[in-house]
Amino acid sequence: MELGAFLRLTVIAVMLTAAASQTTPTGYANHTVGGSAGWFFNSTTNTSAANYSSWAATQTFNLGDFLIFNTNSNQTVIQTYNESTFRSCTTDDALNNDTIQYGGGSTAFGEALTIPVPLTIKGPNYFFSDAEDGAQCQSGLAFEIQVNHGLGLPPSLNQPPPPPYVTPPGPDFSQTPPVTIAGGSQAPGNSGFKNGVNVRGVACALLFGVAFLCFRH
């Protein structure tokens, strides 16, 4: 085989391999962090249960996928888009819009937790545990991933933020407002008319008319 033909075949093979590696996924995936080892740290040996960077290197992450952390309340799950926060192994200087701490709200020690984390932002995503003043992160309980576009976010993760909270009206809000009578002012009940017809004057006029008719007959 000529050298030119061999080189062309080699280039075609490389291109096909690259195209296959970039195939659009057909659905969304759940990635169990660390596989069967879970997300754990042994404080006695000062080691993490797995090499999480090596685990992440075997996965392909896309928008809409979930990371599943099988862990317990002895570890934390911090997601950040800030590399400086990740490298520092602490959230002390983290911003509200670039770092999230997940947890089940447990205050018990060693309580089993399963924490799902959606991947909603494309690009670098960093994860670590800041428990034990960052010692867990410094000893391997940390990893970074690259999130691809894939199918994009599903509708369930691509909703606009909820409207701002509005304080509901107080208990007096539902009461019927006072009635405004035409030609007069707001007046509850039958307290009379203001700038309107004089009821006493009308009654007197009617009585006078009746008396006049009787007198004529």
What is the per-residue pLDDT across 109-129, written as a single tens digit (0 to 9) for each?
Answer: 899 999 999 999 999 999 999
* Residues sharing a CB contact under 8 Å with residue 119, sequence separation 6 or more, in sequence order: 61, 62, 63, 64, 65, 66, 67, 125, 147
Quick check: 89 and 108 in contact, CB under 8 A? no
Q: Tell me the CATH number at 96.
A: 2.60.40.420
pLDDT score of 4: 58
Answering whether pTM is above 0.95, one says no
**Residue 72 reports pLDDT greater than 80:** yes
Lateral strand order in the sheet of 30-32: 30-32, 66-72, 112-118
Q: How is residue 180 annotated by DSSP? A: B
104 SS3 class = coil
Q: 186 is written with which tokens? A: 């707001």
Indicate whether 100 belongs to any domain.
yes
List of E strands, 46-141: 47-48, 61-62, 66-72, 77-80, 99-102, 112-118, 123-128
State the amino acid at position 82 in one-letter form. N
Indicate whether 122 belongs to any domain.
yes
Q: What is the pLDDT confidence band of residue 161, given thresholds at 50, 70 and 90?
A: low
pLDDT score of 22: 55
Indicate whether 174 belongs to any domain.
no
**Residue 107 reports pLDDT greater than 80:** no
Indicate whether 9 belongs to any domain.
no
Domain that holds residue 91: 26-155
**Residue 184 reports pLDDT greater than 90:** no
Q: 188 is written with which tokens? A: 């509850």
Arithmetic mean of pLDDT over the chain:
79
Indicate whether 207 belongs to any domain.
no
Counted domains in the chain:
1
Indicate whether 141 belongs to any domain.
yes
Indicate whether 105 belongs to any domain.
yes
d(CA 176, CA 39): 60
Least confident of 59-68, 74-83, 96-105: 96-105
Mean pLDDT to the nearest integer, 183-191: 50
Indicate whether 108 belongs to any domain.
yes
